[in-house]
Amino acid sequence: QVQLVESGGGLVQPGGSLRLSCAASGFTFSRYAISWYRQAPGKERAMVAGITSAESMTNYADSVKGRFTISRDNAKNTVYLQMNSLKTEEKAAYYCNRPGVGDDWGQGTKITVSS
């Protein structure tokens, strides 16, 4: 059974940092690209960052370039999202998934950016 479990969310002040983790199981992790997505209240879910399988190439939404970094540890079946200089409008639920595969969405991890 495929599982993608997000963690690491919480409350952070504007300008602060958080690191999210996505722990995967049920499939050969190293063979798949993984992406992070977020969904703010009342808005559609959107891709934030992605990382390929073999070469670990990365891509980012324009709004997070230079502030967010996605990485993966294939030995731990985990993808990370380091988020720096967080903004209040980035309050959202963050999810990870395999792009194009059609996995069910997990419960996500919620981030609140507030002073």
pLDDT above 80: residue 54: no
Confidence (pLDDT) at 56? 82
Is 34 or 56 the better-scoring residue by pLDDT? 34
Would you say 96 and 109 are in contact if contact means Cβ atoms under 8 Å apart?
A: no
Please tell me the distance from the alpha carbon of residue 45 to that of residue 43, in angstroms, as a whole number. 7
> pLDDT band for position 8 (50/70/90)?
very high
Q: Which tokens belong to 11?
A: 């409350």
Confidence (pLDDT) at 103? 87
> pLDDT band for position 55 (50/70/90)?
confident
pLDDT above 80: residue 12: yes
Confidence (pLDDT) at 84? 98
> Nearest Cα to 4, choosing from 43, 46, 35, 45?
35
